[in-house]
Structure 1
Amino acid sequence: MEFRHTRIPVPEYSDVDKHRFLQEIYSARKPVVLKNLNLGSCKTKWTVDYMSKKGGGREVKIHVSEEPQMDFIQKNFIYRSLPFDVFVHRAAENKHKEFFISEEEKYYLRSLGEDPRKDVADISKQFPELAEDIQVPEFFEKDQFFSSVFRISSPGLQLWTHYDVMDNVLIQVTGTKRVVLYSPRDAPYLYLSGDKSEVLDVDTPDLVKYPLFAQARRYECTLHAGDVLFIPALWFHNTVAEEFGVGVNVFWKHLPSEYYDKTDTYGNKDPTAASRAVQILDRSLKTLDELPEEYKDFYARKMVLRIQNKAYSTNFE
């Protein structure tokens, strides 16, 4: 089945300050690309050699995959550790003289807290020598800050489609990255497993296996060095590093702190009320299994209608 997807360009804004961001952009709850922001000296300084020298030989945990499309559901990658300076040089290569699996393997770093079970990623703590080069856009209050995640990708690496529960800006410091996004309203078409889509290849999807995917509206942009992408909470996103790329994601809390799971260090656990609701729904569905098939079908449909009537909102596109 041939797949032709309408691509909706993500709008671009230039020279946006905090007031304009909050007044014109933030309340709309849609992605935008922000250009010509003052990001500090990182855009010119963060070469491979400079980052290697500044980052030094500290060990970092990385994803390594033979496949350019990383799949977090099927886990088509392995975790390995390398000194940061060695990792940066390897990640910038197209073919490797030294490798774990193959000479064309792909690398991905998502920085972690000192203790990933307790601490969030914060570039100012894990990579202070590099953090001093980057100026984060101050679009949120200090008490809203959640994490700042340092990311480095091999050329050609594609990351799985997923959503985050907090707002964030993706600062593309070096390299070029394509980003495909889907609205939270299109979740029914994305074949979700937790916070991730089972549709790994968003460009040539298997529409026999995933027929509803054709109904999802695809938003798309290409980020160049110095561009910043605002991704509102719950918007699905899929990224391809068209070149060796370095970026920083800054996450902040859109909702009051009490809405979030206090054990969440990655920013991907659903709000506590949503988690409780899903647990209740799972118990309800298990209870329906006690009925004969015809009755189970009937009452399940009534439940769907009740959810549509009581919980669905018509205020968002």
Structure 2
Amino acid sequence: MSMEKQKKIDVPVFSAVDKELFAKEIYPLRKPTVLKGVPLGPCVEKWTVEYLAKMGGDKEVKIHVSTVPQMDFLHKNFIYRTLTFNEFVQRAASTEHTEFFITKDESYYLRSLGEDARKEPADLSKQFPELSADFQIPPFFEPEQFFSSVFRISSPGLQLWTHYDVMDNLLAQVTGRKRVVLYSPQDALHLYLAGDKSEVLDIDFPDLEQFPEFVKALRYECILEPGDLLFIPALWFHNTLALEFGVGVNVFWRHLPLESYDKKDPYGNKDPLAASRALQAVERALGVLEELPDDYQDFYARRMVLRIQSKAYTSQLTERVQGK
């Protein structure tokens, strides 16, 4: 089905944003925003395929390899392989490969990892110090809030699954063009969630027999040009499509009190500790209800829904429905 029936909203664009403008006019709205004209350093001009291959050298990187460009993390339609960085970059930049793992038109994706991927967040200055010197992190948050800087490289046409993160995030599109589609946290009930990911893989032509509610979600969309930044507030769902071979850097920072986060989370996508406890409590409560007959289960589950709705439906949702 065409997504003409799903309402589309253009992500607002700001130019020449500094820390004060970001703090006063953009950040408090808690909505995705494209930021143009923010200095990212010489990376925008320097990060060609040849330069990246030279500077990255023989460092080995773990990559995703897929026979199709639409990667699906829920069903794992890709394999993990290891290549030297210079070989990976050259393969990812081309659409047909003389050397390959599965097929000659396979797609590649790199999400940089910490030195100990199970414990350490990614940090461009540690994993790729030669390249990090070219990249300037926008000073929109305090240094002590910094969590990670994730280096990403995508084959042309590569599309990543829809998911949310629990930290605020700046996506710097250094080279190449990228389409980003986003959905509000308030549309979570329409996105068919499995953990932090949506089960709707094809957001452009979804199976509405399988996912009938998806059409109700408001679709925010933007095209990132080289040098653009996208502010993605925590909990906003996002889906990226590389329109060209491209290189980007995600910068995540902690905006909640430090004790809110799971210390064993190197990716920034584990739910805050209080949220995890609440979700576990719901599962326990539903388990307790199973001790009752079906009609009682139904009645008391509906009471629980009503109680949760009183927390979920805010004035912001009313404003959105009214188009404010």
* TM category, shorter: over 0.9
Cα deviation, 1:25-83, whole Å, max 9, x if unaligned, reads 00000000000111110011000010011011011000000111100000000000000
The CA distance in 2 between the partners of 1:113 and 1:3, in whole Å, is 38
The CA distance in 2 between the partners of 1:190 and 1:2, in whole Å, is 17
The CA distance in 2 between the partners of 1:175 and 1:42, in whole Å, is 12
Structure 1 position 6, deviation (Å) = 2.2
TM-score (norm 2): 0.96
Which residue number in structure 1 is paired with residue 58 of structure 2?
Answer: 57
The CA distance in 1 between the partners of 2:96 and 2:236, in whole Å, is 34
2:276 maps to a residue whose letter is S
Where in structure 1 do 4 or more consecutive aligned residues deviate above 6 Å? none
Question: How much identity, in percent, do the aligned residues show?
Answer: 68
Note the 1:2-151 alignment, pairs <5 A.
3-4=3-4, 5-151=6-152
Structure 1 position 315, deviation (Å) = 3.8
The CA distance in 2 between the partners of 1:65 and 1:249, in whole Å, is 22
Paired residues, what number? 317
Structure 1 position 9, deviation (Å) = 0.3
Cα deviation, 1:123-162, whole Å, max 9, x if unaligned, reads 0000000000011111000111000000000000000000
Residues 27 and 82 of structure 1: CA distance in aligned 2, closer, same or farther (over 3 Å): same
The CA distance in 2 between the partners of 1:3 and 1:45, in whole Å, is 38
1:222 maps to a residue whose letter is I
The CA distance in 1 between the partners of 2:294 and 2:105, in whole Å, is 51
Which residue number in structure 2 is paired with residue 221 of structure 1?
Answer: 222
The CA distance in 1 between the partners of 2:312 and 2:69, in whole Å, is 39
Counterpart check, 1:205 vs 2:193: no
Cα deviation, 1:206-234, whole Å, max 9, x if unaligned, reads 00000000100000000010000000000
Note the 1:249-288 alignment, pairs <5 A.
249-288=250-289
The CA distance in 2 between the partners of 1:315 and 1:92, in whole Å, is 43
The CA distance in 1 between the partners of 2:267 and 2:191, in whole Å, is 22
Residues 310 and 39 of structure 1: CA distance in aligned 2, closer, same or farther (over 3 Å): closer
The CA distance in 2 between the partners of 1:191 and 1:313, in whole Å, is 21
Note the 1:223-238 alignment, pairs <5 A.
223-238=224-239
The CA distance in 1 between the partners of 2:302 and 2:221, in whole Å, is 35
Structure 1 position 287, deviation (Å) = 1.0
SS in 2 for 1:162: coil
The CA distance in 2 between the partners of 1:3 and 1:241, in whole Å, is 19
Which residue number in structure 1 is paired with residue 166 of structure 2?
Answer: 165
1:258 maps to a residue whose letter is E
Whether contact under 8 Å (2:36, 2:229) holds in the other structure is yes
2:282 maps to a residue whose letter is L
Structure 2: gaps spanning 5 or more residues: none
Structure 1 position 166, deviation (Å) = 0.2
Which residue number in structure 2 is paired with residue 186 of structure 1?
Answer: 187
Which residue number in structure 1 is paired with residue 296 of structure 2?
Answer: 295
Greater Cα shift, 132-141 or 290-299: 290-299
The CA distance in 2 between the partners of 1:302 and 1:229, in whole Å, is 40
Structure 1 position 3, deviation (Å) = 4.0
The CA distance in 2 between the partners of 1:152 and 1:3, in whole Å, is 28
Structure 1 position 279, deviation (Å) = 0.5
Greater Cα shift, 307-316 or 205-214: 307-316
Structure 1 position 314, deviation (Å) = 2.4
Structure 1 position 312, deviation (Å) = 4.1
1:260 maps to a residue whose letter is Y
Structure 1 position 310, deviation (Å) = 4.2
Structure 1 position 308, deviation (Å) = 1.4
The CA distance in 2 between the partners of 1:97 and 1:68, in whole Å, is 18
TM-score (norm 1): 0.98
1:197 maps to a residue whose letter is S
Which residue number in structure 1 is paired with residue 177 of structure 2?
Answer: 176
The CA distance in 1 between the partners of 2:112 and 2:185, in whole Å, is 26
The CA distance in 2 between the partners of 1:147 and 1:80, in whole Å, is 23
SS in 1 for 2:165: coil
The CA distance in 1 between the partners of 2:302 and 2:214, in whole Å, is 22
SS in 1 for 2:315: coil
The CA distance in 2 between the partners of 1:201 and 1:307, in whole Å, is 30
The CA distance in 2 between the partners of 1:195 and 1:314, in whole Å, is 24
1:241 maps to a residue whose letter is A
Structure 1: gaps spanning 5 or more residues: none
SS in 1 for 2:160: strand
1:108 maps to a residue whose letter is Y
